[in-house]
Structure 1
Amino acid sequence: MASQPAFAPWTDPQAKPLIRFEAVSKRFGDFTAVDRVSLSIHKGEIFSLLGASGCGKTTLLRMLAGFETPSEGRIFIDGIDITNVPPYERPVNMMFQSYALFPHMTVEGNIAFGLKQDRLPKDVIAERTRAVLDLVQMGKFANRKPHQLSGGQRQRVALARALAKEPKVLLLDEPLGALDKKLREATQLELVNIQDRVGVTFVMVTHDQEEAMTMSSRIGVMNAGGIQQVGTPIDIYEYPESRFVADFIGAANMFEARVAGDRDGRLVVHCPELAHDLTIDHAAPLAAGTPVTVMVRPEKVAITRDMPAEGLNWAEGVVSDIAYLGDVSIFHVRLASGHKIEALQTNRRHTDEQKLTWDDKVYLGWHPANALVLTK
Structure 2
Amino acid sequence: MANGAPGLQDKPWTDPSARPFVQIENVSKLYGDVTAVNGVDLNIYRGEFFALLGASGCGKTTLLRMLAGFETPNAGRIFIDGVDMASIPPYRRPVNMMFQSYALFPHMTVGQNVAFGLHQERLPRKQIAERVDEMLDLVQIGPLAKRKPDQLSGGQRQRVALARALVKRPKLLLLDEPLGALDRKLREQTQFELVNIQEELGMTFVIVTHDQEEAMTMASRVCVMNAGMVEQVGTPSEVYEYPNSRFVADFIGTANIFDGIVSASSAGEVRVTSPDLDGAIRVAGGSAAPVGAKVSVMVRPEKIQVVGPEGVADGHNEASGIVKEIGYLGDISIYHVELPSGKRIQFSRPNMLHTADAPLSWDDPVSFQWHPANGVLLLL
Read off the aligned partner of 2:205 and give its amino acid letter: F
State the Cα distance separating 1:305 from its structure 2 match: 5.2
Q: Which residue, out of 93, 98, 102, partners 2:101?
A: 98
TM-score, normalized by length of structure 1?
0.97
User: Where do residues 243-254 of structure 1 align in structure 2 (5 Å cutoff)?
Assistant: 243-254=246-257
8 Å Cα contact 2:265-2:290 kept in structure 1? no
Q: For 1:132-175, what per-residue CA distance to the aligned partner results, in whole angstroms no more than 9, with x for missing partners?
A: 11111111111111111111111111111111101000000000
Q: Provide the secondary structure at the position in 2 that maps to 1:287.
A: coil
Q: C-alpha distance in 2, partners of 1:11/1:263?
A: 28
In the aligned structure 2, how far is the partner of 1:22 from the partner of 1:263?
Answer: 37
Q: Which residue of 2 aligns with 1:229?
A: 232
1:346 alignment counterpart:
350
Change (3 A) 1:17 1:264: closer
1:290-305 to structure 2, matched below 5 A, reads: 290-304=293-307
| CA–CA separation in structure 2 for the residues paired with 1:346 and 1:271 | 29
**Structure 1 residues 38-187: aligned runs within 5 Å:** 38-187=41-190
Partner of 1:3: 5
Structure 1 window deviating more from structure 2 (122-131 vs 37-46): it is 122-131
Q: Structure 1 residues 246 and 124 mapped into 2: Cα distance closer, same or farther (>3 Å)? A: same
- Aligned-CA RMSD value: 1.5
Match of 1:325 in 2: 329
Structure-2 separation of matches of 1:219 and 1:354: 36
Counterpart contact for 1:3–1:193, Cα < 8 Å: no
SS in 2 for 1:188: helix
Identical amino acids, percent of aligned pairs: 61
Is 1:310 aligned to residue 314 of structure 2? yes
- 1:263–1:3 distance in 2 versus 1, CA, 3 Å: closer
Give distance in 2, aligned partners of 1:317 and 1:80.
Answer: 59
Per-residue CA shift, 1:313-336, capped at 9, x if unaligned? 011111111111111111111011
The answer as to whether partners of 2:115 and 2:164 remain within 8 angstroms in 1 is: yes
- Give the match's secondary structure for 1:237: helix
In the TM superposition, what is the alpha-carbon distance from 1:263 to its structure 2 partner? 7.2
DSSP 3-state at the match of 2:102: coil
Query: Is contact 1:96–1:173 with CA below 8 Å preserved after alignment?
Result: yes
- Structure 2 portions without partners, runs of 5+: none
Give me the whole-angstrom Cα distance separating, in 1, the residues matched to 2:122 and 2:283.
Answer: 63
Aligned to 2:379: 375
Q: CA deviation at 1:8?
A: 1.3
Give the aligned residue type for 1:289. Answer: G
1:30 matched to 2:62? The reply is no
| SS of structure 2 residue aligned to 1:186 | helix
Aligned to 1:193: 196
Contact 1:69 1:84 in 2 (8 A): no
Contact 2:21 2:46 in 1 (8 A): yes
Paired positions, count: 376
**Closer/same/farther in 2, CA of residues 119 and 353 from structure 1, 3 Å limit:** closer
Once the 2 structures are TM-superposed, how far is the Cα of residue 303 of structure 1 from its aligned partner?
2.1
| Inter-partner Cα distance in structure 2 for 1:264 and 1:354 | 42
CA distance in 1, matches of 2:283, 2:355: 34
Per the normalisation by structure 2, the TM-score is: 0.96
> Deviation at 1:264?
9.5
| 1:208 alignment partner in structure 2 | 211
Out of 358, 362, 367, which is 1:363 matched to?
A: 367
Task: Name which of structure 1's ranges 180-189 and 346-355 shifts more when overlaid on structure 2.
Answer: 346-355
SS in 2 for 1:292: strand
* Kept in 1: contact 2:21–2:44 (CA 8 A): yes
Q: Secondary structure at the match of 1:222?
A: strand
| Deviates most, 298-307 or 338-347 | 298-307
Is contact 1:49–1:221 with CA below 8 Å preserved after alignment? yes
Q: How far did residue 199 of structure 1 move?
A: 1.0
Q: Is the 8 A contact 1:46 1:203 kept in 2?
A: yes
The 10-residue stretch of structure 1 (84-93 or 267-276) with the greater mean CA deviation from structure 2 = 267-276
With 139-148 and 168-177 compared, the bigger mean Cα shift is at: 139-148
- Separation of aligned partners in 1, 2:134 and 2:332: 43
Structure 1 counterpart SS, 2:338: strand
Which stretch shifts more, 306-315 or 316-325?
A: 306-315
Distance 1:147 1:275 in 2: 61
Instruction: Return the alpha-carbon distance in structure 2 between the equivalents of residues 301 and 244 of structure 1.
Output: 21
1:239 aligns with 2:264: no
SS in structure 2 of the partner of residue 362 of structure 1: strand
Cα distance, 1:352 vs structure 2 = 8.8
* Structure 1 alignment gaps of length 5 or more: none
